[in-house]
C-alpha cells in the first residue's frame, strides 16, 4: 500500500489535471495535507490503509488545541482537504473504506458579511479623484468591483477583450475555471472608458504588451495584493469613520453588491448566479442581512412594534 505522502501527490495531481483547480487552491490543499501527513507520521501511520477514523479526529483536535490553534474556519478547510483525499483513495481503489467521511468539522460561528450603506459606498468610490493614469485605473477597479460583485482576483484576472462595452457585460473567470458573464453598470463603464482612453495606453507602453484590462505602473497585470491596497487606500482617503475604514476587506464591495441587490428586491438565485456561487446556500447569508434591516425598519415604524 502507498504511503499517505504518495497518495497526497496523486490527489493533488488529480485536482490540478482532471479537476482544473486553481493554483491558489492547490497551494492551500498542499499546506493542509502536509500538516495531515506530518500528523500521521507522528502517529506511526506510514501506510494509508492503516489510517483510522480516530486518526482523522485526532488531527482535527490537534489543529484546534495545538501550540498554534487554528480558527474553526481554518480547521474546517483543512478537514475538507483531508476528506477529499480519503474519498479519492476510495475511488482509486487504494483503500476499501472512507475513514474520514464521518468526522465532522467544528461548528462555525455565524458571521454576517459587513456591508457598507449605499451612501458609504458612494463616499468610498469618491475617494479616487486623481486624473493621472493610476488614479483613473483605481477608479475603474473600484467601480467594476461594486458594479459586478466580482472577487478581486476575478477583476485583476480579466483581460481587455473580456469587457464588452456595447453589451455592457464582462466575462469573469471564477473559481475552478468557471466562467460567467455579468452586467456592468453605466458608472463603471464610464470609469473604465476613461481609464482605457486616457490611462491604459500610457501604462501599456511601460510593459511588454500585457492583455490585462487593469495594468500596474510597470505595464504588467495588476496583482490582487495591489488591488487590495487600492481599496484600502480609497477607504482611508474617503473620510469615512475610522471604524468603517477598519472593517473594509478585499470582499467589501462584493458584499455590498449582494446586500444592496437583495435589499432592492433582487431574487436570491439571480444574485447567486451573479456572484458565481455554486450553491444558493452560500448566497443566502446575505438574506439575513436584509432581514435585519427589515426588522430595524419595522421596530421603528410600526405602531405595535414597541412595548
Q: Residue 33: phi, psi to the nearest 5?
A: -75, -30
Q: Are residues 122 and 86 in the same domain?
A: no
Count of structural domains within the chain:
2
Active-site choice (77, 175, 196, 224): 175
Across the beta sheet with 169-173, what order do the strands follow?
A: 163-164, 169-173, 179-183
Q: What is the pLDDT averaged over residues 262-267?
A: 87
What's residue 305's pLDDT?
67
Q: Is 61 left (phi over 0), alpha (psi -120 to 50) or beta?
A: alpha
pLDDT of residue 20: 84
In this prediction, residue 64 carries a pLDDT of 92
282 falls in which pLDDT band (50, 70, 90)?
Answer: confident
Question: Same domain, yes or no, for 21 and 131?
Answer: no
Residue 40 belongs to domain with CATH number: 1.10.150.130
Per-residue pLDDT tens digits for 2-13: 999 999 999 999
51 & 180 share domain: no
Phi-psi sector, 230: left (phi>0), alpha (psi -120 to 50), beta: alpha
**Does 43 share its domain with 143?**
no
56 burial type by CB count under 10 A (0-12 exposed, 13-18 middle, 19+ buried): buried
The verdict on whether 173 is a catalytic residue reads no
| Same-domain check for residues 204 and 288 | yes
Q: Determine which one of 11, 146, 195, 286 is catalytic.
A: 286
Q: Is the pLDDT of residue 24 over 90?
A: no
The pLDDT tens digits of the residues spanning 29-67 come to 999 999 999 999 999 999 999 999 999 999 999 999 988
Residue 268 within any structural domain of the chain: yes
Question: Please, is 264 exposed, middle or buried when counting C-beta atoms within 10 Å of its C-beta (0-12, 13-18, 19+)?
Answer: exposed
Q: Does residue 302 carry a catalytic annotation?
A: no
Tell me the pLDDT tens digit for each residue of 73-120: 889 999 999 999 999 999 999 999 999 999 988 876 655 557 899 999
In a domain, 57, yes or no: yes
Q: What does the mean pLDDT of the chain come to?
A: 90
Residues 123 and 218 in one domain: yes
Radius of gyration of the chain (CA): 23
Span 208-230, average pLDDT: 96
Banded pLDDT at 154 (limits 50, 70, 90): very high
Residues 128 and 263 in one domain: yes
Q: Decide if 199 contacts 130 (C-beta within 8 A).
A: no
Which domain, by its residues, includes 159? 118-299
Residue 290 has pLDDT above 80, yes or no: no
Given 21, 86, 139, 151, the catalytic residue? 151
- Collapsed DSSP state (helix, strand, coil) of residue 184: coil
3-state class of 212 per DSSP?
strand
Judgement on whether residues 140 and 70 belong to the same structural domain of the protein: no
- Residue 151 is among the residues annotated as catalytic for this protein: yes
The cell for 29 is 490543499
CB atoms within 10 A of CB 162: 19
**End residue of a domain, out of 33, 56, 91:** 91
| Same domain, residue pair 132 and 208 | yes
Determine whether 178 is an active site residue.
no
Q: Which residue out of 137, 251, 255, 260 is catalytically annotated?
A: 251
Whether residue 185 lies inside any domain: the answer is yes
Is residue 287 pLDDT above 90, yes or no?
no
Amino acid at each position: 500500500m502507498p504511503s499517505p505522502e504518495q497518495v497526497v501527490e496523486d490527489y493533488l495531481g488529480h485536482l490540478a489535471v482532471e479537476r482544473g483547480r486553481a493554483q491558489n487552491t492547490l497551494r492551500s490543499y498542499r499546506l493542509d495535507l502536509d500538516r495531515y501527513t506530518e500528523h500521521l507520521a507522528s502517529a506511526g501511520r506510514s501506510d494509508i490503509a492503516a489510517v483510522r477514523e480516530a486518526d482523522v479526529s485526532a488531527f482535527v483536535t490537534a489543529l484546534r488545541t495545538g501550540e498554534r490553534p487554528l480558527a474553526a474556519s481554518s480547521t474546517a478547510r483543512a478537514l475538507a482537504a483531508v476528506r477529499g483525499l480519503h474519498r479519492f483513495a476510495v475511488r482509486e481503489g487504494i483503500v476499501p473504506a472512507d475513514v474520514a467521511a464521518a468526522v465532522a468539522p467544528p461548528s462555525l460561528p455565524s458571521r454576517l458579511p459587513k456591508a457598507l450603506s449605499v451612501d458609504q459606498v458612494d463616499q468610498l468610490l469618491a475617494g479616487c479623484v486623481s486624473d493621472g493614469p493610476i488614479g483613473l485605473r483605481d477608479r475603474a477597479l473600484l467601480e467594476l468591483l461594486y458594479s459586478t460583485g466580482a472577487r478581486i482576483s476575478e477583476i485583476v484576472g480579466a483581460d481587455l477583450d473580456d469587457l464588452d462595452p456595447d453589451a455592457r457585460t464582462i466575462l469573469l473567470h471564477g473559481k475552478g475555471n468557471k466562467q460567467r458573464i455579468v452586467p456592468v453598470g453605466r458608472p463603471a463603464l464610464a470609469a473604465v472608458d476613461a481609464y482605457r482612453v486616457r490611462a491604459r495606453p500610457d501604462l501599456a507602453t511601460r510593459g511588454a504588451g500585457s492583455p490585462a484590462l487593469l495594468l500596474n505602473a510597470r505595464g504588467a497585470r495588476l496583482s490582487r495584493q495591489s488591488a487590495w491596497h487600492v481599496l484600502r487606500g480609497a477607504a482611508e482617503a474617503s473620510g469615512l469613520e475610522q471604524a468603517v475604514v477598519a472593517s473594509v476587506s478585499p470582499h467589501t464591495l462584493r458584499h455590498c453588491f449582494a446586500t444592496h441587490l437583495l435589499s432592492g428586491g433582487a431574487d436570491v438565485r439571480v444574485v447567486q448566479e451573479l456572484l458565481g456561487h455554486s450553491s444558493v446556500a452560500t448566497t443566502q447569508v446575505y438574506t439575513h442581512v436584509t432581514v435585519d434591516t427589515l426588522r430595524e425598519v419595522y421596530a421603528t415604524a410600526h405602531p405595535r412594534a414597541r412595548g
